């Protein structure tokens, strides 16, 4: 039972260190494989299935879009499950589903099978990635939440740095079946032990308070104890500002990220081009740690707008650059922003809606933003067939910059109260 609810078996090894930092590191280890495979590897699979199997890029792009749309569609269900059963259960089940989907992907024979396999992978990815990981960190930290979140999500970028070249080389040398089987095993060998031995759902599980404060010092920030239903959240202007902004931003970010390897391969050899993705991931580590060190002390809405402006410039440069230095510089600038955008989406949900219903609200936000992001690869694939990558990426850059402006006017949502029917609804003064 201690592996499920009690004191973590390895806690004594860390002495007087606030255990929330160990939880953040554990979340980072999980993200290394879950998001390294579930996000970065999808770009490698898109390029490999198109280039090596002769399947059309539009066809594979459609399957990639289906993957991201499906992960968004199940977001509300995942969010409610996280709030009800705890993040750890979601992570463990999600890793198992992802592993099964990867083994199935290794046996693929026809492009049409991608439409069956990718939704399975997407469900596992949604259960094991952003919502439960962010929920754990949000519960353990209040005043240093951005710093902790940057540590927890650093594993995402490390996964890109390490796994992209490894997966690329494995696909070239040993093929799809061997590569996906290896990735399935890696998922299980990392995620299950880390979740069982290191992670705990909230500080109460080990008799602590957020940030390691004493109970008298701990003051829940941003109405941490308030309860939101998805219906009540969706009736606020704040919710729709978040959705509009991040739908546009992630539509462009994911579209560019999934085609990045293909874009760079138009000018550089495959082995060199794969390093551009690793450059993006490495820059993401640096960017997230830098931004995480001060994001708790600034207006995170304005910070997001500034980072998206930099990202838009990087995306446009990727579309029109032709030399290796320009392509790698644009990849680095893109990477500096890419991880921070995902991190800031979670931070803004916690800031504007509180902690108690964090999974519920974030799941509904991701239903819409992840669906929009899933359309990005398909849209860019269609624009590539019509106009080429340059104009297509230029259009994405403009959409991203425009969408971010909606965040400037976002305000913390007023806590809900029971209406006459007994359901939760926001007070009219803050809707």
CA separation for the pair 253, 259 (Å, rounded): 10
β-pair partners for 425? 417
Local mean pLDDT, 10-residue blocks, the chain (431 residues)? 58 79 93 89 76 70 82 85 89 95 85 85 92 89 87 83 85 85 94 92 82 58 61 89 90 86 80 80 86 87 90 88 87 89 87 82 86 81 79 86 84 64 46 37
CA separation for the pair 338, 332 (Å, rounded): 10
- Residue 131: what pLDDT? 86
Q: What are phi and psi of 417, to 5 degrees?
A: -140, 155
- Residue 217: what pLDDT? 52
- Residue 187: what pLDDT? 94
- Residue 26: what pLDDT? 94
Q: Which residues contact 96 (CB under 8 A, 6 or more apart)?
A: 124, 188
pTM over 0.75: no
- Residue 429: what pLDDT? 39
Residue with token string 């931003």: 249
DSSP assignments along 399-417, one per residue: HHHHHHGGGGG--PPPPEE
223: left (phi over 0), alpha (psi -120 to 50) or beta: left
Each residue's pLDDT tens digit, 244-254? 999 989 988 88
């Amino acid at each position: 039972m201690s592996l499920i609810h009690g004191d973590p078996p390895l806690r004594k090894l860390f002495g007087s260190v606030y255990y929330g930092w160990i939880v953040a590191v554990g979340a980072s280890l999980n993200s290394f494989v879950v998001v390294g495979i579930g996000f970065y590897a999808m770009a490698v699979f898109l390029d490999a299935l198109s280039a090596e199997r002769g399947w059309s890029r539009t066809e594979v792009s459609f399957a990639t879009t289906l993957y991201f749309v499906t992960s968004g569609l199940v977001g509300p269900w995942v969010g409610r499950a996280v709030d009800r059963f705890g993040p750890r259960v979601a992570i463990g089940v999600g890793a198992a589903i992802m592993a099964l989907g990867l083994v199935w992907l290794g046996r693929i024979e026809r492009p049409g099978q991608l439409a069956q396999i990718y939704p399975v992978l997407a469900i596992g990815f949604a259960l094991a990635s952003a919502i439960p990981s962010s929920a754990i960190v949000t519960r353990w930290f209040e005043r240093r939440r951005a710093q902790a979140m940057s540590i927890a999500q650093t594993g995402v970028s490390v996964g890109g740095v390490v796994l992209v070249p490894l997966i690329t080389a494995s696909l070239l040398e040993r093929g799809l079946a061997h590569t996906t089987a290896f990735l399935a095993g890696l998922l299980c060998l990392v995620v299950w032990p880390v979740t069982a031995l290191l992670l705990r759902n909230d500080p109460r599980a080990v008799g602590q308070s957020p940030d390691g404060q004493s109970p008298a010092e701990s003051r829940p920030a941003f109405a941490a104890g308030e309860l939101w239903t998805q219906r009540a959240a969706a009736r606020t202007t704040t919710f729709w500002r978040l959705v509009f902004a991040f739908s546009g931003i992630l539509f462009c970010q994911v579209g560019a990220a999934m085609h990045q390897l293909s874009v760079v391969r138009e000018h550089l050899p495959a082995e060199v081009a794969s390093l551009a993705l690793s450059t993006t991931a490495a820059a993401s580590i640096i960017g997230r740690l830098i931004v995480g060190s001060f994001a708790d002390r600034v207006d995170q809405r304005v910070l997001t707008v500034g980072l998206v402006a930099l990202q838009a410039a990087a995306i446009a440069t990727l579309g029109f650059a032709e030399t290796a230095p320009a392509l790698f510089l644009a990849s680095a600038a893109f990477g500096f922003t890419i991880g921070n955008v995902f991190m800031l989406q979670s931070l803004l949900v916690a800031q504007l809606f509180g902690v108690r219903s964090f999974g519920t609200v974030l799941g509904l936000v991701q239903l819409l933003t992840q669906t929009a992001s899933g359309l990005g690869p398909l849209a860019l694939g269609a624009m590539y067939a019509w106009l080429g990558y340059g104009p297509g990426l230029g259009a994405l850059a403009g959409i991203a910059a425009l969408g971010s402006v909606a965040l400037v006017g976002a305000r913390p949502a007023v806590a809900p109260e029971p209406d006459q029917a007994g359901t939760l609804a926001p007070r009219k003064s803050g809707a």
